[in-house]
Structures are given as structure tokens and as C-alpha cells.
Structure 1
Amino acid sequence: MWKSYSAWANRHRKWLFAAPAMIFVGLLIAIPLVWTLYLSVTDSKGSVRAASDFVGLANYVEVFADFDRFWPAVARTFIFTGGALAVEMVLGMCIALLLWRPFKGEKWVRVAILLPLVATPVAVGMMWRLIFDPNIGFANQVLNWVGIPSQPWLSGQYTALPTLMFVDIWQWTPMIVLILLAGLTSLSEEPDEAARIDGANAWQRFWFVTLPLLRATVIVAIVLRGIDALKTFDILYATKGKGGGSFHEVETLNVYAYGLSFDYNDYGIASTVLVLFFLLIIAIMWLVTYRRKADR
């Protein structure tokens, strides 16, 4: 009996050693999800320990009918994520290509490029809040030096979101550079040399040789950064505060759910928004994975 168990344990030792950590991580994910799902079908308010009634899908109906806060927050989430991610991918690719070939002082350049990743998002948000301050900010002083009038930047209803997209691009483009640079350094030089011998110019070699070989790395960068950008909260809240500003100009789904939870203590509606947000992220991941399999 003991020998048969020992033999079985030896055959499955990698799963037995990993099982405690996997169970622990699984519980950390499952318990909050189940609790949030439960709250989303109740009218929980004021305190999560207070008595609440089961309301079924009423919260979901209310959220889907909210064209004043919910759907604008969905639109801002996609605008912020799509705009920042597109610029970060293009800019990250350009910088990675520049750093691909060795040059004098490349180590110092790489260190300088990675500096924005060192600071926490809240610290970055507070720093840029001072830079873009309409009265004492350095950004408006530079504009005034060249004869351009001061801009509202973070205080403007229509300029706050693009400004925060710029801040996100400034901080997280280095992450894209790291991922793409790792992919570039792993590529074989033979296809590029063959294309060069055939007379292809730099753009043709990049578009028809390097980029197709780098497709898997690009998809990884898009997925990792895209999901992270969807969940952005710290920079938005650190710069604009409650509600994403006076006109909710930077209120994404994360900021909206936070306000429902901690400003209004409406845990039922807040949980509903978070469940929908989670399903949205899962759907995007599935679409990307499905498209990747289709390409293969």
C-alpha cells in the first residue's frame, strides 16, 4: 500500500509540490469573485454587514440603463486604453528598434529610458499634476515662453483625458520597449541578412521580415499592457480625485466603481459594475487568444 502510494506520489511530485500554492492562489481569486457576484444581486448599501435583500438582476438592469455615468465611463475606458496603447506600441517599437543594435553609451540610454518605471503611479500622477498646474505649472510656463497661451491641461473638461493618456504613455512605454527589445534580441539575423542581400530597404525588411517574426511578442505586449491600461486607477484618482473630476471627465469604470463603493457606499451597484468590468476583460482576453489561434 505504502509502496504504491510512494510510486504514485513520485510520478506526480510536480503537482503535489505545486498544489498548496495553486490552491492558495485559487482561493485568493475565487473568494473575492464569489463575494462580489453575491453582492451584485443584492441591494447592499451602507455596510456590507448590514441586512440586504436579494434583487436578482435588478442591479444589472439599472446599470445598463445608466446613460449618465456608466456608459460614458465605458467609453472613456476604451478611449483611454485604446489611445494610450496604440501610441505606446508604436513609440515602444521605434525605441526598441533604435536600441536593438549596439552603440556607444547604450547602457546609459537604456537606464534613462527605464526611469519612469521606477516611480509608483501615484507619485507619477502627483508629479505631473504639479507640472500641468494651470497657475504655477512648468508646462504652461514653457508655452508662454514661445508665445502660446496657457492651456487648462488637467483642469479642462476636454483636455484632462488626453493629458492623462500622455502621462500613461510617458510611464509605461518603457515596459513595451523591454518586451519588444527582448523579442528582437532573440530573433535570428539570417532572415534580415537574406532580405538585405535581395535588395530590400530598411522599411521593407522591418515590415515583411522583422515584424512577422516578432508577431508573438507584439501580441504578448498588447495583452499585458492592454489589460493593465484597462485597470488604470491610481494616476486618474491621484490627479482628478473623486468622480474623475467635476464633470467626470476622466471617470473610467474603475474610478466609477470606486466612487460607488467608498463615496456612496452602494455596494450592490458597485459590485455589478465590477462584475461587468471583469467579464469585459475576460471577453477581450478570449478574443485576443482566439485571434492568435486563428492566425496560427
Structure 2
Amino acid sequence: MSTVAIQKQGPRESFSRWANKHRKWVFAAPSMIFVSLLIAFPVGWTLYLSLTDARGSVRAESDFIGLENYADVLTDFDRFWPAVARTVYFTGGALLLELTLGMIIALLLWRPFRGEKWVRVAILLPLVATPVAVGMMWRLILEPNIGFANQALAWFGIPAQPFLSGQDTALTTLMFIDVWQWTPMVVLILLAGLTSLSDEPDEAARMDGANAWQRFWFVTFPLIRVTFITAILLRGIDALKTFDILYATKGKGGGSFHEVETLNVYAYGLSFDYNKYGESSAVLIVFFMLIIGCIWLLTARRKKDNS
């Protein structure tokens, strides 16, 4: 081969060697770029709207007002901060119950038993239905007058309870509905971590005289700590963003007294009920930063446990 041909092929061969060395990034780059643009555009547009007085229509003329929307939102103690409190209460309560129940069920399903497949299928059934359908189903079950739940309570002489209609009970009731539907997801994640463990550490602890609780707390749980944090990360972010089941059961504003109005419901109302797009965008940006902060904290903890 001539010297000229070698020189012409030099850059091509150099690129081939570089691409082969970084092939995992080369193949992943198109998807990463597409996903980045898919996220960057709506976040950027929302950030822009949050700095304007956009209202009525997103295409209507609007003026740049800087951080005024953020000042209005952060000083709104009638709707915004109560919505923050409800979001934290709903997310924290649902996550705590789902992790506790999920761990218990996963431990029960860890060892093989007769009819194991049928039990697993039954546990996963709530995940099949959409959240809106689940919300409407529970709305009928918990209906104060004809709902099955209050009829069942009447059999034991217990008066009818305002599960979803009560101002003080609606959010807690919806939290338990969320637990009913999404605990199976936590079970799947934790069960995957448990089935990947070896039997030797548990058997060694058993031979040393450790009881069931000691074997779980000092042997099993440390081994699946990373999986547990993954479950917190995935389910926690999902619970923070809950909207459909709240809106399906209580409608606009999270009820007549805003009893289930979380940040998602509040931002939705500002946009589609009052057409205050600038203020709604400010709420969404604050909410987005809250989610990013939670992700960062959990990811940092996960890396610490991996190291």
C-alpha cells in the first residue's frame, strides 16, 4: 500500500480506534442526546415562563418580571405552604408504610412454599390497574352512604366514616389507597435483592445462635441496603409526583377545602383553572428543585453504601 494511501487512512483508523475505545459512549450518545433535549426543552420553557407574568394563554404577550412569581409563591401561606406540607405528609407516610409492608411481604415470599406463584400473582394485581381506575374504584367503595366499607362497619355497630369526604381524613385515606396499589412495586424490588443473596451468611448467624430478628437486622438488611435505598429512590420520587389518584377522587383544588391539594394539584389548578402560567411555572420549578434535591441525597447515600 502506498504512503499516500496510508496517510489518507490515518484519520479514519484513528477515529476507529477512538470509537472502539469509547464504544459504550458512542452507542449511548444518540439516546442520551435525545433524552437530554426531551427534558431540557420543557424545563427551560417552564423556567422562562416562571420569570414572566404569562396568564390567559401561553401565546399571549407577557413581560419579564424576574423573580416576582417566586416571591409571590414563597410568601403564599394560604395555599402554597399547606400544599408543601400535604405533599411531605403524603409522600413520607406512603413511603414509610410501603417500605415496611414491602419488606415484610418480601421476607415472607423469600423462601419457596407451596402455591408461591399464585400468591405472587395475587399480590401484584393492584399494579395492573391504572391509578385513575383505582381512584374511582375506591371512591365507590368508600362512598359514605352506599359504599361497601361503611356497610361493613355497620355490621359491627360502627357508625359511617367520612373517609374521602372528611376534611381531616381524606388525605390519609388517599395515602392508604396509594399504599394498597404501590406496595407490590416495593415488594418486587426488595424480593429481587433478597433472592440474589447467598444462604451462607444467614446459616452462619443461625449456627451462632442469632434469632430471626438479629439475622435480619445484622445480616440480611446490611446486604440489601443498596437495594433498599433504590426502592426509596424509585418509589419516593413517584409518590412525590402523585397527581392522578388525587384528582380522580377529589377533583379540582383537591377538594372543597383543598384538603388533598398537594404541589402537583396546586400547580395544575393555577395553570388550567386560573390560567396563571407564570405563577404555576414558578411552583413547578420549586417542586422540580425539591425532587432534584431528594434524588441527590439518596444517590449520595447509595454511593456511600456502595463504597
TM-score (norm 1): 0.97
Does residue 283 (structure 1) correspond to residue 272 (structure 2)? The answer is: no
Does residue 64 (structure 1) correspond to residue 79 (structure 2)? The answer is: no
The letter for the 2-side match of 1:223 is L
Name structure 2 gaps, 5 residues minimum.
Answer: 1-10
TM-score (norm 2): 0.94
Further displaced range: 112-121 or 202-211: 202-211
Deviation per residue, 1:225-275 (Å, 9 max, x gap): 000000000000000000000000000000000011111110000000000
Does residue 192 (structure 1) correspond to residue 202 (structure 2)? The answer is: yes
Question: What pairs with 1:195-214 in structure 2 (closer than 5 Å)?
Answer: 195-214=205-224
2:58 alignment partner, SS class = coil
Identical columns (%): 78
Structure 2 Cα separation of the partners of residues 86 and 291 of structure 1: 18
Which of 118, 133, 140 aligns to 1:123? It is 133
Does residue 88 (structure 1) correspond to residue 98 (structure 2)? The answer is: yes
Structure 2 Cα separation of the partners of residues 166 and 53 of structure 1: 44
> 1:246 maps to what in 2?
256
> 1:103 maps to what in 2?
113
Does residue 142 (structure 1) correspond to residue 152 (structure 2)? The answer is: yes
Name structure 1 gaps, 5 residues minimum.
Answer: none
Question: What pairs with 1:1-296 in structure 2 (closer than 5 Å)?
Answer: 1-295=11-305, 296=307
Deviation per residue, 1:195-241 (Å, 9 max, x gap): 10011111111111111111111100011100000000000000000
The letter for the 2-side match of 1:214 is I
Per the TM alignment, residue 288 of structure 1 is displaced from its structure 2 partner at its CA by: 1.9
The letter for the 2-side match of 1:199 is G
Per the TM alignment, residue 5 of structure 1 is displaced from its structure 2 partner at its CA by: 3.1
2:164 alignment partner, SS class = helix
Further displaced range: 14-23 or 53-62: 14-23
Per the TM alignment, residue 294 of structure 1 is displaced from its structure 2 partner at its CA by: 4.4
In the alignment of these two chains, the number of paired residues is 296
The letter for the 2-side match of 1:93 is M
1:153 alignment partner, SS class = coil
Note closer, same or farther for the CA distance 1:289–1:8 as it changes in structure 2 (3 Å cut).
closer
Per the TM alignment, residue 284 of structure 1 is displaced from its structure 2 partner at its CA by: 1.2
1:67 alignment partner, SS class = coil
Structure 2 Cα separation of the partners of residues 9 and 62 of structure 1: 51
Note closer, same or farther for the CA distance 1:6–1:293 as it changes in structure 2 (3 Å cut).
closer
Per the TM alignment, residue 287 of structure 1 is displaced from its structure 2 partner at its CA by: 1.7
1:210 alignment partner, SS class = helix
The letter for the 2-side match of 1:51 is E
Further displaced range: 99-108 or 201-210: 201-210
1:224 alignment partner, SS class = helix
